[in-house]
Structure 1
Amino acid sequence: MVLIINSSAQTSNVNFNDNKRELKLNTFVQIKFDYGGIVPAVKEKGIDKYYALDLRVAWQKKENNIYSTIYRAPKFGFGFYSASFDNNVFGEPNGMYGFFEIPIGDQKKRLNWIYSIGAGLAFNFNYFDPENNPANELIGSNKNVYLAFSFEGRYNITEHWVAGLGFGFKHFSNGRITLPNSGINLIPLTVTTEYNFGDSYTDIQKGKLPIFIPFNMLNVFGAAGVKNFEYDGARYFKSTLSINALRQFSYKYRYGLGFDLFYTAGSSDRVTDEKNNFNKQYSYGFAGLFEWLITERLYLPFNFGIHLNKNEENFEELLYQRIGLRYLLGKQKKIMIGVGLKTTEFHADYVEWTLGYTFKNDKNKYELLF
């Protein structure tokens, strides 16, 4: 069957009609079904089954701009999620999330490949309670962050109907707002059905991309959140002040170096080491920066840092990381908002709600190509 599909992919092309431009967007509806993928660490805690259903609405620009061309006409959208572990200990979570979907390679064949990333909020968990639900040692809150990644093969059955098959990664946790927070990780099989309401597609012509003009930038941002240190204990305020110097060398990527200063409330009483009050309340370090741009406004930061000062009583380790989602506001795209997760050696530290400003002199023009 795989040979037949591959043969069809090589010999059959979808009939794309690029002349119809009545609407600026193509719209899609997707139904996705997930099953299985229980990783051993989760299975040991009592989860044996997993299945879920997603209803997603997506749109795709017909107008050909820089990023539509670079990412081969990506889709953006939002989804509604409903799942079950077939287990009253963990509940039957529902959720809402945003996502983007990026094609891999030429999309004018019948068999195509895509990857998708989504993030949102899941709720309706049966969370840990020492008296009423002691068996749930993974999740300590009713509401949790929902992260999803999938890789799929998509087959164009007709001009409007598409079927997909692949695998995904799902993650649920609360960023240590409430303990326990081991989180739930899954790698399920994914089956997709998609309907395209439009009948034209974005014409991709990479030869018309203007040469990128590299530039430097300086980001200054603050972030705030809370952290829980013990079950049923108080939540303590945490904050970040960061300054980042970056070099953007292409439409898609930039790199740099940053300095982070972290504050944790209650540290002067919690930290027992012989330090001055500043070093008890504040930790700090340098981080290597890498940022992946999805559009000229939307990007994902990836930071890998080393603490020059840390406090073990605050559950801080030598190394720290940051992953997030940020968006640039304003006509000049200089006001930064976002959310991210700071981790210490890949254990959640706290969720950072971010606001900042970008200093830059970007001479590139992000206009329609044709």
Structure 2
Amino acid sequence: MKQVARLFLFVFFLFGLAVPSFSQKEFKKVLEASFESGPLISNGQPWADAVKNLVSYHAVDIRLGWRKNTNSYYGQLYRYPVFGVGLSTTLAYQSEIGRPQGVYWFFDIPFREFSYDRKFNLSYFGHLGLGFNLNPYDSIENPLNRYIGSELNSYIHLGLKVNYFLTEQVHLFSMVGLKHFSNGATKKPNAGINLLPVSVGVRYNFNKSEEETPHLWERPELNKTGYWSTAFYFGSKNYEVGGASYFRGGANLTRLWEKSYKYRYGVGLDVFFAPGLRDRSGLAQVSLWDQMSLAVVGAWEWKLTEHLYIPVGFGVYLHRNNENQEFTWFYERIGMRYSLNDRLFTGVQIKAHKFKADFFEYTVGYSF
């Protein structure tokens, strides 16, 4: 639980690096409030269906956002999106799952530049943060809830949003998407809580009018010839319910190419280390190779701003060990990273097998 808390406090620290500048005049502020309701998605197990039938989900959100109205090439690329922070809280406490709440950073990116000539505008959104106040699995007090094993968890909400311009300053909106709570296997069980809420809400724009779109901003030259990126991963994993957690780590070397201002792609090599196999498995003979895995990984990075980007990866194992719970021949990776300068970056990702969490990866890296 402490591992997850440290992880997401670290993420919010990264996003906090950019927040102070949002108070400047070149950012237009918005305030949103919404109500949402929807079903809990069962994984098909009898205990999961039982929890689903007992639980009803109703929650409210409040968000404070900033939209840059001065010229920047990333602002133009994404049609002047909104970034900000938010709070979500379930309305009622339920003994099976508690009263899930979350604090998060968010983005809201329109498919087309917002225009008062169109009453309806469509956008897509993402919320990433820390979920808390859940009632986790307990063999005596809460044996039915095998969805989650910790009070603190990651909080992810992705979906689509329809905006209706009621007045110049007041907008109505509706959102639909998938909401997910998970601790990244830092404490089992960790099937994860998945919800499919629909929300309705209102946005208030503190600024009365929209300024004209500025002229095209000069864009920097892309690095199409490619460059190298190396990263180091640190985390922990809980292998069995009630068991101890063990260090998990790894390293990566990737060749990346910039073919677009929005995306980078590349191919690299991952090496993972899972110590403690002798204690976990009871095996008498354990080698270093047994506690390591090796994989080729395809990389794709989605650049949201000059510094903030989302890394996505798909890896294929060249060597793995089932005792380390690497049950499939492939894995997925997604997360958030922040470039401190042209060379150094840091962030956090989740590595998963068939979308089942393996471990959270604290990441530090260097590009050259």
TM-score bucket (shorter structure):
0.7 to 0.9
Shift of 1:200: 3.7
Q: 2:28 is paired with a residue of what secondary structure?
A: strand
**Deviation at residue 273 of structure 1 after TM alignment:** 9.0
Q: CA deviation at 1:217?
A: 2.0
Aligned to 2:158: 149
Name the counterpart of 1:13: none
Q: CA deviation at 1:118?
A: 1.0
Q: Which residue of 2 aligns with 1:304?
A: 314
The answer to whether the aligner puts 1:76 opposite 2:78 as a matched pair is no
Matched, 1:50 2:60: no
Confirm or deny that 1:225 pairs with 2:235.
Answer: yes
Equivalent runs, 1:327-366 vs 2, <5 Å: 327-330=338-341, 333-359=342-368
Aligned to 2:276: 266
Contact 1:257 1:286 in 2 (8 A): yes
Task: Give the Å deviation of 1:343.
Answer: 0.7
Alignment-derived partner of residue 320 in structure 1: 331
The residue that corresponds to 2:37 in the other structure is 35
Tell me how far 1:303 sits from its aligned partner. Answer: 0.3
The reply to whether residue 128 of structure 1 matches residue 130 of structure 2 is no
Provide the secondary structure at the position in 2 that maps to 1:81. strand
Quick check: 1:64–1:202 contact (8 Å CA) kept in 2? no
Q: Which residue of 1 aligns with 2:199?
A: 190
Distance 1:274 1:260 in 2: 28
Q: Is the 8 A contact 2:80 2:113 kept in 1?
A: no
User: Which of the numbers 57, 62, 67 marks the counterpart of 2:74?
Assistant: 67
Assess, with a 3 A threshold, how the Cα gap between structure 1 residues 194 and 235 changes in structure 2: closer, same or farther.
same
Distance 1:202 1:228, change over 3 A: farther
- Structure 1 residues 46-76: Cα deviation after superposition (integer angstroms, max 9, x where no partner): 1341111111000011111011001000110
1:277-292 maps to which residues of 2 (within 5 A)? Answer: 277-292=287-302
Cα deviation, 1:8-53, whole Å, max 9, x if unaligned, reads xxxxxxxxxxxxxx92110010002110133243761413411111
Unaligned stretches of 5+ in structure 1? 1-21, 360-370
Structure 1 residue 207: deviation in Å? 5.4
Q: Compute the displacement of 1:208 (Å).
A: 5.3
Task: Give 1:267 shift.
Answer: 2.1
Q: Shift in Å at residue 275 of structure 1?
A: 8.8
Secondary structure of the equivalent of 1:118? strand
Change (3 A) 1:200 1:23: farther
Tell me, in whole angstroms, the C-alpha distance in 1 between the residues paired with 2:143 and 2:280: 28
Q: Percent identity?
A: 35
Greater C-alpha Rg: 1
The Cα shift of 1:150 comes to: 2.3
Shift in Å at residue 203 of structure 1? 3.8
Report the residue type matching 1:49 in the other structure. Answer: S
Amino acid at match of 2:290: K
SS of 2:288's equivalent in the other structure is helix
Structure 2 regions of 5+ residues with no counterpart?
A: 1-23
Verify the 8 A CA contact 1:221 1:355 in the aligned structure 2: yes
Give the counterpart letter for 2:43 in structure 1. A
Q: CA deviation at 1:181?
A: 0.1
Return 264-273 or 153-162, whichever deviates more. Answer: 264-273
Question: 1:12 maps to which residue?
Answer: none
Confirm or deny: 8 A CA contact 1:279 1:309 kept in the other structure. no
Q: Is the CA contact 1:70–1:206 (under 8 Å) kept in the aligned structure 2?
A: no
Q: Compute the RMSD of aligned alpha carbons.
A: 2.1
**Secondary structure at 1:133's aligned position in 2?**
coil
Work out whether residues 117 and 149 of structure 1, in 8 Å CA contact, stay in contact via their aligned partners in 2. Answer: yes
Structure 2 residue aligned with 1:26: 28
Partner SS state of residue 259, structure 1: strand
Q: What SS does the aligned partner of 1:68 have?
A: helix
What TM-score does the superposition give when structure 2 sets the normalisation length?
0.86
Shift of 1:356: 0.7
Conserved 8 A contact 1:268-1:280: no
Distance 1:202 1:282 in 2: 56
Give yes or no for contact 1:212–1:251 (8 Å, CA) kept in 2: no
Asked if structure 1 preserves the Cα contact closer than 8 Å seen for 2:297 and 2:314, the reply is yes
Determine the structure 2 residue equivalent to 1:115.
Answer: 124
